[in-house]
Amino acid sequence: MDLSGPVQVFYEASSFEPGSYSIQYCGVNDAESAEQGLLLGGLQPFDTIDLREGDFIFVPGIDFKTFVAGKLAPSISRVREWLQTAQARGVNIASVCSGTLILAEAGLLNEKRCTSHWKCIEYIRQRYPRVDIVSDCLYANDKNIYTSAGMTSGIDMALSIVENQHGPILAAKVAREMVVYLRRDESNNQETIYLDYRTHFSPGIHKVQDYIISHSAENFSLDQLASIASMSTRTLTRLFKKSTGHTVNEFKTAVRLELARTLHESTDYTADKIASLCGFESARQLRRLQTRRRMGQT
């Protein structure tokens, strides 16, 4: 799962957006056997992979006892310089679960905040005192080094990478395709309208939510949205509330307010300009709704 989880995330992302990711498998040897007995063959030599700035190397977990016994030292010694050179060139290095041990042994985690499987935390603290290891997060990102806590958190970390690179809608689509919840790390903003209220499994409602997010400034009708969902307006109204906990209009307003917040933080537009871009009648209406939201009324 350390390997297949993140791979599936990037595979699904590239299915939705062709060309977004290309996946290659490499290793110290051309074949490796997983602990469960699955043989992984046809691996490319790690030092022949053409890596460029912005690419990712994902290191799956290893057996903790085998590592402590020093049985992996020769292999780690072979990849140490390769990992260090790649990281210095701007390649992102990511580890899943106990894969953090390899990065620590390679000297990539010195003075960096990271996490790992709970079995490895104390060992890392004792053996690598320069590593800032934490135990209270799903995954951590310090510059271009990514680490995750356990098997399924590798999926969470991969989804966060997709979200950062291609936006929350694609990340939400991938999570839905994999039938997993999109769990975000506590260091990120846990509340975002683009990802919240998406844990249901109604494809029609997901289509409507995607449309509202992509056309937030438009004055679309319930009939239009019902057509997108392939259901009647009455069914849409009932099912949208049941699936998300909010009415269609409440969700639309929340999307517009989120867009207004983003524009306010990232542009120098006037309040009137932002209100217009977000589909509000005036800056006064926008301020009134923002006030109501802060007071928990929307």
10-residue mean pLDDT series, the chain (298 residues): 95 96 96 91 95 96 94 95 96 97 97 94 96 91 93 92 88 84 59 73 89 90 96 96 94 92 84 94 94 75
Q: Are 16 and 173 in contact (CB under 8 A)?
A: yes
pLDDT at 191: 57
What pLDDT score was predicted for residue 265?
Answer: 79
In this prediction, residue 190 carries a pLDDT of: 43
Question: What are the residues facing 32 on neighbouring strands?
Answer: 40
Q: If we measure between CA atoms, which residue out of 114, 110, 111 comes closest to residue 98? A: 114
pLDDT of residue 114: 96
Domains delineated in the chain: 4-176 (3.40.50.880), 191-294 (1.10.10.60)
**In Å, what is the CA distance from 254 to each residue of 26, 106, 224, 278?**
45, 46, 19, 11
Q: Give the predicted TM-score (pTM) of the model.
A: 0.73
Residue for token digits 């994999």?
178
Locate the DSSP E strands across the chain.
26-27, 31-33, 39-41, 44-45, 56-59, 92-95, 113-114, 132-133, 139-142, 145-148
Q: What is the dihedral of CA 193, 195, 197, 199, to 10 degrees?
A: 180
